[in-house]
Amino acid sequence: QVQLVESGGGLVQAGGSLRLSCAASGRTFGDYAMAWFRQAPGKEREFVAGITRSGDFTHYRDSVKGRFTIFRENAKNTVYLQMNSLKPEDTAVYYCAGDKNLDYSDFDSIAYWGKGTLVNVSS
């Protein structure tokens, strides 16, 4: 079993930055690909960014490319999402997720989820 706990959300003005953290416990963190998803009010959950087990490869949704960076520190069992140049449309609850074979397009197949952290970007 893997437990994921997100932190770092909050209220920020448009153009500002936030860094989200996701701390993992339970199993060997390095065995799991990790990703961030988000869900805005009244909208479906969507993929934001993903990273391989070693951290060598990353993947982003188009709307955050160049603004968001996902990275991980396996020695600290933590994955991060650095968010710069935030926009009001980035407002959402952000979720951390992990799986040994993580399919970004199949949410139901992902084994482990955190409870989320709210990011609110004011205009």
pLDDT tens digits, 2-46: 899 999 999 999 999 999 999 999 768 999 999 999 999 999 999
56-65 mean pLDDT: 97
Q: Average model confidence (pLDDT) for the chain?
A: 96
44-61 mean pLDDT: 97
| Structure confidence at residue 28 (pLDDT) | 87
| Structure confidence at residue 95 (pLDDT) | 98
| Structure confidence at residue 82 (pLDDT) | 98
| Structure confidence at residue 32 (pLDDT) | 94
| Structure confidence at residue 119 (pLDDT) | 98
pLDDT at 63 over 80: yes
Judge whether 61 and 83 are in contact, CB under 8 Å. no
pLDDT at 61 over 80: yes
